[in-house]
Amino acid sequence: MSLASTRSIAEIRARNKELIEEVLKVYPEKTAKRRAKHLNVHQAGKSDCGVKSNIKSIPGVMTIRGCAYAGSKGVVWGPIKDMVHISHGPVGCGQYSWGSRRNYYVGTTGIDSFVTLQFTSDFQEKDIVFGGDKKLVKVLDEIQELFPLNNGITIQSECPIGLIGDDIEAVSRAKSKEYGGKTIVPVRCEGFRGVSQSLGHHIANDAVRDWIFDKFEPGGKPKFESTPYDVAIIGDYNIGGDAWSSRILLEEMGLRVIAQWSGDGSIAELEATPKAKLNILHCYRSMNYISRHMEEKFGIPWCEYNFFGPSKIAESLRKIAGYFDDKIKEGAERVIEKYQPLVNAVIARYRPRLEGKTVMLYVGGLRPRHVIGAYEDLGMEVVGTGYEFGHNDDYQRTAQHYVKDSTLIYDDVNGYEFESFVEKLQPDLVGSGIKEKYVFQKMGIPFRQMHSWDYSGPYHGYDGFAIFARDMDMAVNSPIWKKMKAPWKEASKAKLLAAE
Amino acid sequence: MAQSAEHVLDHLELFRGPEYQQMLANKKMFENSRDPAEVERIKEWTKTPEYREKNFAREALAVNPAKACQPLGAVFASVGFEGTLPFVHGSQGCVAYYRSHLSRHFKEPSSCVSSSMTEDAAVFGGLNNMIDGLANSYNMYKPKMIAVSTTCMAEVIGDDLNAFIKTSKEKGSVPAEFDVPFAHTPAFVGSHVTGYDNALKGVLEHFWDGKAGTAPKLERKPNESINIIGGFDGYTVGNLREIKRILALMGIQYTILADNSDVFDTPTDGDFRMYDGGTTLEDAANAVHAKATISMQQWCTEKTLRLVSEHGQDVVSFNYPVGVSATDDLLLALSRISGKQVPEQLARERGRLVDAIADSSAHIHGKKFAIYGDPDLCYGLAAFLLELGAEPTHVLSTNGNTAWQDKMQALFASSPFGHACQSYPGRDLWHMRSLLFTEPVDLLIGNTYGKYLERDTGTPLIRMGFPVFDRHHHHRSPVWGYQGGLNVLVKILDKIFDEIDRKTNVLGKTDYSFDIIR
Which positions 396-425 of B are in contact with A (Cβ < 8 Å)? none
Question: Which has the closest alpha carbon to A274: A300, A246, A254, A243?
Answer: A300
At A25 the pLDDT is 96
Sign of CA dihedral B127, B130, B135, B140: positive
Chain B residues in contact with A143 (beta carbon < 8 A): 61
At B459 the pLDDT is 98
Residue A344's alpha-carbon distances to A243, A252, A255, A353, A354, in angstroms, are: 23, 20, 25, 15, 15
pTM over 0.90: yes
Residue A372's alpha-carbon distances to A309, A358, A361, A379, A467, in angstroms, are: 9, 11, 9, 11, 16
SS3 state of residue B209? coil
Is A146's CB within 8 Å of B107's CB? no
Is B96's CB within 8 Å of A67's CB? yes
Q: To the nearest whole percent, how much of chain B has pLDDT over 70?
A: 100
pLDDT over 70 (residue B98): yes
Chain B residues in contact with A262 (beta carbon < 8 A): none
Strand partners, A281: A234, A304
CA-based nearest distance B182→chain A, Å: 15
Q: Does the beta carbon of B518 lie under 8 angstroms from any beta carbon of chain A?
A: no
Chain A residues in contact with B151 (beta carbon < 8 A): 159
pLDDT over 50 (residue B408): yes
Chain B residues in contact with A138 (beta carbon < 8 A): 59-61
At B392 the pLDDT is 98
Is A159's CB within 8 Å of B266's CB? no
Q: What are the catalytic residues of B?
A: 152, 156
Is A191's CB within 8 Å of B91's CB? yes
Average the pLDDT over B100-104 and give the result: 98
Question: CA–CA separation, A403 vs A375, rounded Å?
Answer: 12
Is A458's CB within 8 Å of B10's CB? yes
SS3 state of residue B369? strand
Question: CA–CA separation, B227 vs B284, rounded Å?
Answer: 10
pLDDT over 80 (residue B359): yes
Average the pLDDT over B76-87 and give the result: 98
Of A61, A118, A462, the CB nearest to B63: A118
Cα angle: A473, vertex A476, A480; to 5 degrees: 115
Average the pLDDT over A385-400 and give the result: 97
Is B116's CB within 8 Å of A223's CB? no
Average the pLDDT over B316-320 and give the result: 98
Q: What are the catalytic residues of A?
A: 67, 70, 101, 201
Of B103, B132, B449, the CB nearest to A60: B132
Chain A residues in contact with B31 (beta carbon < 8 A): 82, 266, 268-269
Q: Spell out a b/e string for A206-230, using b for 16 or more CB atoms within 10 Å of the CB, else e.
A: bbbeebbbeeeeeeeeeeeeeeebb
Q: pLDDT confidence of B402, banded at 50, 70, 90?
A: very high
pLDDT over 50 (residue B153): yes
List all residues 6 or more positions away from B257 whose beta carbon is below 8 Å from its beta carbon.
B80, B200, B204, B227, B228, B229, B279, B284, B287, B293
CA-based nearest distance A270→chain B, Å: 9
* pLDDT tens by residue, B217-250: 999 999 999 999 999 999 999 999 999 999 999 9
Q: pLDDT confidence of A215, banded at 50, 70, 90?
A: confident
Question: CA–CA separation, B353 vs B362, rounded Å?
Answer: 15
At A492 the pLDDT is 59
Size of interface A-B (CB pairs under 8 A): 352
At A485 the pLDDT is 92
SS3 state of residue A322? coil
Q: What is the dihedral of CA A128, A129, A132, A135, to 10 degrees?
A: -110
CA-based nearest distance B115→chain A, Å: 4
pLDDT over 50 (residue A1): no
Mutation choice for B interface testing from A463, A465, A478, A481 by most B CBs within 10 A: A463
pLDDT over 80 (residue B1): no
Mutation choice for A interface testing from B100, B118, B180 by most A CBs within 10 A: B118
Question: Which has the closest alpha carbon to A472: A393, A399, A371, A321?
Answer: A371
pLDDT over 60 (residue B72): yes
Question: CA–CA separation, A307 vs A341, rounded Å?
Answer: 17
* pLDDT tens by residue, B8-42: 999 999 999 999 999 999 999 999 889 999 999 99
CA-based nearest distance B392→chain A, Å: 26
Is A109's CB within 8 Å of B93's CB? no
Chain A residues in contact with B268 (beta carbon < 8 A): 441-442, 444, 484
Of A108, A437, A486, the CB nearest to B43: A108
List all residues 6 or more positions away from A380 whose beta carbon is below 8 Å from its beta carbon.
A354, A355, A356, A357, A358, A359, A428, A429, A472
Mutation choice for A interface testing from B48, B92, B271, B456 by most A CBs within 10 A: B92
Is B64's CB within 8 Å of A438's CB? no
Q: Does the beta carbon of B132 lie under 8 angstroms from any beta carbon of chain A?
A: yes
pLDDT, averaged across chain A: 95
Of A111, A145, A192, the CB nearest to B91: A192
Q: To the nearest whole percent, how much of chain A has pLDDT over 90?
A: 94
